[in-house]
Amino acid sequence: MEAVQRVFNNVDWITSIFVMSLFVLVLSKVFFYNKFINFVVLPFNNKYIFLHSKKHILFNWFNLLWSLFMLLNISLFTYYLLQIFYKANNYTTTFGYLALLSLLALFFIIKFLLQFCNAFVFSSTKIVTQFIFKKLSYLNYSVIILFLVNIFLTYITPSSQIIVYLGLLLVLIVNVIGWVNILKNHRNFITTNFLYFILYLCALEISPFVIIGSYLKY
Read off the pLDDT of residues 27-58 as tens digits, 9 standing for 90 and up. Answer: 999 998 888 888 888 878 777 887 776 665 66
Which pLDDT value is given to residue 200? 67
Checking if the pLDDT of 26 tops 90, the result is: yes
Residue type, 107: F
One-letter amino acid at 50 equals F
Whether the per-residue pLDDT at 203 is higher than 70: the answer is no
Distance between CA atoms of 56 and 146, rounded to whole angstroms?
Answer: 27
> With contact defined as beta carbons under 8 Å apart, do 186 and 139 qualify?
no
Q: How many CA atoms lie within 13 A of 168 on its CB side?
A: 10
Banded pLDDT at 209 (limits 50, 70, 90): low
Percent of the chain with pLDDT over 70: 75
Q: What is the pLDDT of residues 58-81, one digit of tens each?
A: 678 888 899 999 999 999 999 998
Indicate if the pLDDT at residue 181 is higher than 60: yes
Which pLDDT band holds residue 157 (cuts at 50, 70, 90)?
Answer: confident
Exposure string over 194-213, b if 16+ CB within 10 A, otherwise e = eebbeebeeeeeeeeeeeee
The amino acid at residue 72 is L
Helix (H) or strand (E) holding 103: helix 94-121
Q: Looking at residues 76-98, what average pLDDT do you find?
A: 79
Report the pLDDT value the prediction gives residue 151, as an integer from 0 to 100. 94
Q: What is the C-alpha separation between 216 and 218, in angstroms, rounded?
A: 5
Is 205 in contact with 118 (CB distance < 8 Å)? no
Distant-in-sequence contacts of 52-55, Cβ < 8 A, 24+ apart: 53/130, 53/133, 53/134
Residue 45 DSSP symbol: -
Give the span between the Cα atoms of 152 and 163, in whole angstroms: 8
pLDDT of residue 7: 41
